[in-house]
Amino acid sequence: MSNVKGTKIKSKFTFLRQHFSDAMVERVLAAMAPSDRAQLQTVLDLGWYDSGLFENLLAAIVKVAGHGDDQILGKVGRHSAEDISQNAYKVYFRSGDPETVLAKMVPIHAKLNDPGEMEVLRHSEQELSIVVKEPRALLNSCKVARGFYQRSVELCGVSNVSVEEVACSGKGANACEFKVSWT
């Protein structure tokens, strides 16, 4: 099984607070199993947490905040990209080149996931793929990733960004592959 850093979990709480309210965080937690709620009462930035717990949190966000609509997960991913572009990683976005920005995310991915392995492959001036080999996908995590990649590329100053997941390890593929294109 894989693990995620506490910062990934805490960023989802930040999304809920900023887009809804503190009360929404409590409502999402209340919809989770007691054992999950207990683990999420104190989340440490540098702590490691089971990816199943992370997936359960995403499912509760869909159920409660999204009223069953999983499109909210794309918004969660977009929020994470905006957050990372405003903090210590903002220098990466200054290049204006999607490949450079996403390539800089490779070591960040490895720091936030255990195991964590991904690569960025350029196909043309306006198309690349992100291949996530580890961790193995959980379906809600892929929906967050699509939103994250789309917003990250948009923040490079390009338009008409499209992200398509063409392979998913959660559906039996060897890795998740996201094709990203823009104009």
**Residue 88, pLDDT score:** 66
Same domain? For 22 and 83 the reply is no
Which of 69, 53, 60 is closest to 27 using CA atoms?
Answer: 60
111: pLDDT confidence band, cut at 50, 70 and 90? Answer: very high
Same domain? For 60 and 96 the reply is no
5: pLDDT confidence band, cut at 50, 70 and 90? Answer: very high
**Residue 57, pLDDT score:** 98
Average pLDDT of 75-99?
86
Same domain? For 65 and 116 the reply is no
Whether residue 179 is predicted with pLDDT greater than 80 in this model: the reply is yes
pTM over 0.85: yes
Q: What is the CATH number of the domain that holds 136?
A: 3.90.1520.10
- State the residue range of the domain holding 103: 77-181
Count the domains in the chain.
2
